[in-house]
Structure formats: structure tokens, C-alpha cells
Amino acid sequence: STWANLGTARYFQGRYAEAAGAMEKAVQLAPNNYLYWGNLGDGYRWAPGLRSKAAAAYSNAIRLAREKLALELNDTAVRSSLAVYLAKAGDTAGALSEVAQVERTRSNSPGTIFKTALVYELAQDRGKALEALGRAIQAGYSMSEVVNEPELAALRSDANYDRIANLGAAVKN
């Protein structure tokens, strides 16, 4: 988990090539961890010259997340991660189908709600992305991760984002 934590830290610092390098080590040590493969895909997706490697990493993440869901069908944390990987792999319909199942559950964690916001943004449904992001922040999701998530760069320039950011400041206080 040390390599995974380092990779995550580098990702949110915008140091994507270093994130990918750390996540490569994490998947070497834990090749059956869907989160590590998904994070490796994210590092590759944003690192200059490595984007072409992202699809294979997401493919592994999707396969492993589906295997885990076969054992725990109602695990919304796994299902929301699967939705994000599907969206990043270009399967928008599959991603939205998974998100629909997640959203039928009332007791989602802030991280799970945040992942639904990512899926909606990747699916180009800004209204639903903003609404889900607002719910995630109200539930306590980290504004620092919102601010540093590259997938949300365009959303953060939306005029309606300021209302969400102010909500995050109010929740923090």
C-alpha cells in the first residue's frame, strides 16, 4: 500500500509520470487489486507519452472489479469504481448503468458519491455531475481532491461550480 499511497499523492500533485511509476510497483506487488490497476490507468491517462497504456490498465481494473462484485453484488464502493473505469475506457453506457445501480442505494459514502460525479462529467452530463459533486461535498468529501482532480478541470470552470465550492467551504467551517 505504500507504493499505492505514493502514487495517489503524486497524482493529486499533478506529477502523473511519477504516479504511474509508483502504481506500477503497487500492481507488481498486488496484481489482483482493482484499485491499484485503476489508479495505474489514471497515471497513464495523464502522464505525457503514456496515455496509450491506460486502456490495458483499465481493462485489468474492470475485470478485477467485476470479479469482486460477483462475490459482493451490493458493494457500491466497488461498483462506483467500476463505473469510473468503464467511463474512462470509453464505455459510457456501461458506466451509467453501474451508476444507476449505485444511486439506488441510499447509504453511499462520500467517495462513492464523488465517483458518480466523475462518471457524469466523463459522460458529459454536467448538471448531474454538479449535483452529485454537491452531495459528495455535503457528505464530507475532500475539497482538496475535488480541486486537484484533473477530470474535473472543465467542470471547475463552470459558473455553477462556485456554488459547490462555497458549499465545501461552509461544510469545512
Question: Looking at the predicted structure, is the pLDDT value of residue 164 above 80?
Answer: yes
Nearest by Cα to 58 from 91, 14, 26, 88: 88
Q: Tens of pLDDT along 48-103?
A: 999 999 999 999 999 999 999 999 989 999 999 999 999 999 999 999 999 999 99
Residue appearing with cell numbers 502523473: 16
What is the chain's percent helix, strand, coil content, to nearest 5? 80, 0, 20
User: Which of 47-61, 137-151, 153-167 holds the top average pLDDT?
Assistant: 47-61
Question: Looking at the predicted structure, is the pLDDT value of residue 173 above 70?
Answer: no
Rounded Cα–Cα distance for residues 61 and 55 (Å): 10
DSSP 160: T
Rounded Cα–Cα distance for residues 106 and 166 (Å): 25
> Has this prediction a pTM greater than 0.85?
yes
Rounded Cα–Cα distance for residues 173 and 171 (Å): 5
The CB density around residue 90, as the number of other CB atoms within 10 Å, is 11
